[in-house]
Protein backbone atom coordinates (compact mmCIF):
# COMPACT_ATOMS: atom_id res chain seq x y z
CA UNK A 1 0.00 0.00 0.00
CA UNK A 2 1.23 3.52 -0.79
CA UNK A 3 0.52 6.74 1.11
CA UNK A 4 -2.32 8.89 -0.23
CA UNK A 5 -3.62 12.11 1.32
CA UNK A 6 -6.24 14.00 -0.68
CA UNK A 7 -9.45 15.96 -0.04
CA UNK A 8 -11.37 12.76 -0.71
CA UNK A 9 -9.26 9.99 0.77
CA UNK A 10 -6.57 9.29 3.35
CA UNK A 11 -4.67 6.03 2.95
CA UNK A 12 -1.50 5.17 4.84
CA UNK A 13 0.37 1.87 5.18
CA UNK A 14 0.95 0.63 8.73
CA UNK A 15 3.84 2.46 10.36
CA UNK A 16 3.84 5.34 7.90
CA UNK A 17 4.31 8.94 9.05
CA UNK A 18 3.40 11.77 6.66
CA UNK A 19 4.34 15.40 7.28
CA UNK A 20 2.43 18.18 5.45
CA UNK A 21 2.47 21.97 5.50
CA UNK A 22 -1.12 23.05 6.14
CA UNK A 23 -3.42 25.61 7.71
CA UNK A 24 -5.63 25.05 10.73
CA UNK A 25 -8.63 24.97 8.36
CA UNK A 26 -7.01 22.22 6.29
CA UNK A 27 -6.31 20.23 9.45
CA UNK A 28 -9.95 20.59 10.48
CA UNK A 29 -11.06 19.43 7.02
CA UNK A 30 -8.94 16.27 7.31
CA UNK A 31 -10.41 15.60 10.75
CA UNK A 32 -13.92 15.90 9.33
CA UNK A 33 -13.02 13.65 6.41
CA UNK A 34 -11.81 10.98 8.84
CA UNK A 35 -15.16 11.19 10.62
CA UNK A 36 -15.69 9.13 13.77
CA UNK A 37 -12.73 6.86 13.06
CA UNK A 38 -9.49 7.13 15.02
CA UNK A 39 -7.14 6.36 12.11
CA UNK A 40 -4.93 7.74 10.88
CA UNK A 41 -3.81 9.63 13.96
CA UNK A 42 -3.27 13.31 13.29
CA UNK A 43 -1.69 16.25 15.01
CA UNK A 44 -1.28 19.91 14.12
CA UNK A 45 1.38 22.37 15.25
CA UNK A 46 2.87 25.55 13.80
CA UNK A 47 1.35 25.19 10.34
CA UNK A 48 2.17 21.53 9.97
CA UNK A 49 0.12 18.32 10.03
CA UNK A 50 1.56 14.94 10.94
CA UNK A 51 -0.40 11.82 10.07
CA UNK A 52 0.49 8.38 11.41
CA UNK A 53 -0.90 4.90 10.81
CA UNK A 54 -0.06 2.75 13.87
CA UNK A 55 1.32 -0.77 13.67
CA UNK A 56 -0.27 -3.63 15.66
CA UNK A 57 2.55 -3.42 18.26
CA UNK A 58 1.54 0.16 18.97
CA UNK A 59 -2.05 -0.72 19.81
CA UNK A 60 -1.06 -3.69 21.92
CA UNK A 61 1.44 -1.72 24.00
CA UNK A 62 -1.04 1.15 24.47
CA UNK A 63 -3.70 -1.23 25.75
CA UNK A 64 -1.33 -3.04 28.09
CA UNK A 65 0.33 0.01 29.66
CA UNK A 66 -3.02 1.78 30.07
CA UNK A 67 -4.29 -1.34 31.86
CA UNK A 68 -1.20 -1.24 34.10
CA UNK A 69 -2.01 2.36 35.05
CA UNK A 70 -5.60 1.41 35.85
CA UNK A 71 -4.51 -1.52 38.01
CA UNK A 72 -2.07 0.68 39.94
CA UNK A 73 -4.73 3.36 40.48
CA UNK A 74 -7.32 0.78 41.54
CA UNK A 75 -4.83 -0.81 43.93
CA UNK A 76 -4.50 2.48 45.82
CA UNK A 77 -8.26 3.11 45.79
CA UNK A 78 -8.03 6.29 43.74
CA UNK A 79 -10.89 7.47 41.56
CA UNK A 80 -10.13 8.54 38.02
CA UNK A 81 -11.49 8.97 34.52
CA UNK A 82 -9.69 7.77 31.39
CA UNK A 83 -10.22 8.47 27.71
CA UNK A 84 -9.23 7.03 24.34
CA UNK A 85 -9.45 8.09 21.61
CA UNK A 86 -9.57 11.78 22.39
CA UNK A 87 -8.62 14.87 20.39
CA UNK A 88 -7.17 17.84 22.24
CA UNK A 89 -7.44 21.12 20.33
CA UNK A 90 -6.56 24.76 20.79
CA UNK A 91 -7.93 26.57 17.70
CA UNK A 92 -5.30 27.82 15.24
CA UNK A 93 -2.56 26.60 17.58
CA UNK A 94 -2.54 22.89 18.32
CA UNK A 95 -4.32 19.63 17.72
CA UNK A 96 -3.12 16.35 19.21
CA UNK A 97 -4.46 12.86 19.89
CA UNK A 98 -2.83 11.15 22.89
CA UNK A 99 -2.90 7.37 22.99
CA UNK A 100 -4.52 7.49 26.43
CA UNK A 101 -5.23 10.18 28.98
CA UNK A 102 -6.13 10.02 32.66
CA UNK A 103 -7.84 12.47 34.96
CA UNK A 104 -6.69 11.59 38.47
CA UNK A 105 -6.50 14.67 40.70
CA UNK A 106 -9.02 16.59 38.59
CA UNK A 107 -11.48 13.83 37.58
CA UNK A 108 -14.41 15.70 39.12
CA UNK A 109 -13.88 18.59 36.69
CA UNK A 110 -14.79 16.41 33.70
CA UNK A 111 -17.12 13.92 35.36
CA UNK A 112 -20.15 13.28 33.15
CA UNK A 113 -19.05 15.66 30.39
CA UNK A 114 -19.58 14.57 26.80
CA UNK A 115 -17.18 17.23 25.51
CA UNK A 116 -14.14 18.88 27.05
CA UNK A 117 -13.29 22.53 26.34
CA UNK A 118 -9.50 22.53 26.18
CA UNK A 119 -9.39 26.31 26.61
CA UNK A 120 -11.33 26.35 29.91
CA UNK A 121 -11.40 22.81 31.36
CA UNK A 122 -8.32 21.36 33.08
CA UNK A 123 -6.02 19.13 31.03
CA UNK A 124 -5.54 15.43 31.80
CA UNK A 125 -3.27 14.79 34.76
CA UNK A 126 -1.44 12.00 32.95
CA UNK A 127 -1.00 11.35 29.24
CA UNK A 128 0.38 8.14 27.76
CA UNK A 129 2.12 8.04 24.37
CA UNK A 130 3.56 4.93 22.75
CA UNK A 131 6.19 5.90 20.20
CA UNK A 132 6.99 3.20 17.66
CA UNK A 133 7.65 5.50 14.69
CA UNK A 134 9.17 8.62 16.36
CA UNK A 135 5.87 10.44 16.02
CA UNK A 136 5.48 11.70 19.59
CA UNK A 137 6.96 14.83 21.14
CA UNK A 138 6.42 15.61 24.81
CA UNK A 139 6.46 19.34 24.04
CA UNK A 140 3.21 18.95 22.10
CA UNK A 141 1.52 19.00 25.50
CA UNK A 142 3.04 22.28 26.70
CA UNK A 143 0.17 24.46 25.36
CA UNK A 144 -2.30 22.41 27.42
CA UNK A 145 -0.27 22.29 30.63
CA UNK A 146 -0.50 18.50 31.10
CA UNK A 147 1.26 17.84 34.45
CA UNK A 148 2.80 14.46 33.52
CA UNK A 149 3.49 12.70 30.23
CA UNK A 150 4.63 9.10 29.83
CA UNK A 151 6.48 8.39 26.61
CA UNK A 152 7.21 4.73 25.94
CA UNK A 153 9.96 4.46 23.34
CA UNK A 154 12.29 1.57 22.44
CA UNK A 155 10.99 -0.50 25.37
CA UNK A 156 11.84 2.25 27.84
CA UNK A 157 9.42 4.38 29.85
CA UNK A 158 10.30 8.08 29.97
CA UNK A 159 8.39 10.03 32.64
CA UNK A 160 8.20 13.78 32.02
CA UNK A 161 6.81 16.26 34.52
CA UNK A 162 5.89 19.86 33.82
CA UNK A 163 8.06 22.31 35.71
CA UNK A 164 7.21 25.90 34.85
CA UNK A 165 7.39 26.16 31.08
CA UNK A 166 9.25 22.94 30.29
CA UNK A 167 9.07 19.18 30.73
CA UNK A 168 11.80 17.58 32.80
CA UNK A 169 12.67 13.89 32.78
CA UNK A 170 12.07 12.20 36.13
CA UNK A 171 12.83 8.77 37.52
CA UNK A 172 9.45 8.36 39.25
CA UNK A 173 5.85 9.31 38.61
CA UNK A 174 4.17 11.71 41.02
CA UNK A 175 1.16 9.39 40.96
CA UNK A 176 3.10 6.22 41.78
CA UNK A 177 6.14 7.40 43.76
CA UNK A 178 6.74 4.03 45.42
CA UNK A 179 6.45 1.90 42.28
CA UNK A 180 9.38 0.89 40.09
CA UNK A 181 7.50 1.54 36.86
CA UNK A 182 10.34 0.42 34.59
CA UNK A 183 10.40 -3.03 36.17
CA UNK A 184 6.61 -3.35 36.38
CA UNK A 185 6.08 -2.47 32.73
CA UNK A 186 9.02 -4.58 31.53
CA UNK A 187 7.64 -7.61 33.37
CA UNK A 188 4.12 -7.06 32.03
CA UNK A 189 5.40 -6.73 28.48
CA UNK A 190 7.43 -9.92 28.82
CA UNK A 191 4.40 -11.89 30.02
CA UNK A 192 2.15 -10.31 27.39
CA UNK A 193 4.45 -11.22 24.51
CA UNK A 194 5.25 -14.66 25.89
CA UNK A 195 1.57 -15.41 26.50
CA UNK A 196 -1.07 -12.65 26.37
CA UNK A 197 -2.07 -9.34 27.94
CA UNK A 198 -4.67 -10.83 30.26
CA UNK A 199 -2.02 -13.08 31.83
CA UNK A 200 0.24 -10.06 32.33
CA UNK A 201 -2.46 -8.08 34.12
CA UNK A 202 -3.50 -11.03 36.28
CA UNK A 203 0.10 -11.54 37.38
CA UNK A 204 0.47 -7.82 38.19
CA UNK A 205 -2.63 -7.92 40.39
CA UNK A 206 -1.26 -10.97 42.20
CA UNK A 207 2.09 -9.25 42.78
CA UNK A 208 0.35 -6.14 44.13
CA UNK A 209 -1.72 -8.31 46.45
CA UNK A 210 1.42 -9.90 47.88
CA UNK A 211 3.06 -6.49 48.11
CA UNK A 212 0.47 -5.36 50.66
CA UNK A 213 2.32 -7.41 53.29
CA UNK A 214 5.80 -7.37 51.81
CA UNK A 215 6.26 -3.69 50.92
CA UNK A 216 6.13 -1.70 47.69
CA UNK A 217 6.20 -3.66 44.46
CA UNK A 218 9.48 -3.50 42.56
Element (H or E) spanning 211, and its range?
Answer: helix 197-214
State which residues form the domain around 36: 1-53
Please give the pLDDT value at position 114. 85
Judge contact between 75 and 19, C-beta under 8 A. Answer: no
Between vectors from CA 91 to CA 98 and to CA 161, what angle results, nearest 5°?
40
Judge contact between 133 and 17, C-beta under 8 A. Answer: yes
Say yes or no: 5 and 112 in one domain: no
CA dist., res. 62 & res. 68, Å (int) = 10
Greater pLDDT, 53 or 153: 153
Please give the pLDDT value at position 132. 72
pLDDT tens string 201-211: 999 999 998 76
Say yes or no: 142 and 196 in one domain: yes
CA dist., res. 161 & res. 167, Å (int) = 5
| 66, 45, 158, 51: CA torsion to nearest 10 | 60
Chain centroid, CA 210 distance in Å:
29
Element (H or E) spanning 217, and its range?
Answer: none
Say yes or no: 147 and 130 in one domain: yes
Residue 5: is its pLDDT beyond 80? no
Please give the pLDDT value at position 31. 85
DSSP letter at 122 equals P
Say yes or no: 44 and 74 in one domain: no
Please give the pLDDT value at position 177. 94
Q: Helix or strand or coil: residue 172?
A: coil
pLDDT tens string 143-173: 999 999 999 988 899 999 999 999 999 999 9
R_g of the chain, CA atoms, integer Å: 18
CB atoms within 10 A of CB 183: 11
Please give the pLDDT value at position 155. 85
User: What total number of domains does the chain contain?
Assistant: 2
Greater pLDDT, 154 or 190: 190
Mean pLDDT, range 73-101, rounded to an integer: 92
Say yes or no: 106 and 197 in one domain: yes
Say yes or no: 44 and 149 in one domain: no
Say yes or no: 43 and 62 in one domain: no
Amino acid sequence: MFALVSPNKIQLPAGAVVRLRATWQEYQALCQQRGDGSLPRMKYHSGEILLMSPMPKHGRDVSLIADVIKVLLDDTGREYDSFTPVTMELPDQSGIEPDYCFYIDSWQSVSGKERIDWETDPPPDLVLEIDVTSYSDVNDYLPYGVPEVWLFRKNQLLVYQLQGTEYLLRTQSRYFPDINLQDVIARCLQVAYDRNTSAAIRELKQRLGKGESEGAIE
